[in-house]
Amino acid sequence: MPFLSKPVSAISGTVSHLDNTLLEYVNPEKPTHDHSSVYYQRFYISKFNLGDQLIEAKFSSPMKIQNGDLVAVSGYPKDNTFQVLAYSNKTQQVSGNENWLIAGLGALFFLAVVISLLNTELVIEGAWIPRLFLVGFLGVAIYMGYRAYLIREALKLIQN
């Protein structure tokens, strides 16, 4: 992920070579006899080309695109693939994006954990394990806040 460089950009074109897949993770605590969907985490992965650029999108719901649709996507390049944060399908008049609000709330939650850890006796006394937790939670908060920022920037590019 680009960090503090040109964070997001937009690409538009006609969808070709569309490949939709579903990636499911099963909760390891799932009872063997229960086949409820509550225990599954699903990611819908769409890979396609816009012109000569390879595009990859991972969302919690499937992208509403088909081969031949005129689509604008915004995101960032990663390993010769453009990672999508938001998209707008001009042909079907639909759009989608990752949820920036949830990422922002997650960042605030982890920041609250960091603040509460700062006031513990073990951190004040200089114990190194609570400090490791402090650094870890702060790292997660910064990442989630930056991710929310990237999604907001991607939405601005798509709306223009």
At 50, the amino acid letter reads L
Q: State both tokens at 153.
A: 């920037």
The tens-digit pLDDT sequence of the chain (160 residues) is 445 556 899 999 999 999 988 887 776 676 667 666 666 777 899 999 998 899 999 988 889 999 999 999 999 998 889 999 999 999 999 999 988 999 999 999 999 988 888 878 877 787 778 788 888 999 999 999 999 999 999 999 988 6
pTM (2 d.p.): 0.77
Q: Is 106 helix (H, G, I), strand (E, B) or coil?
A: helix
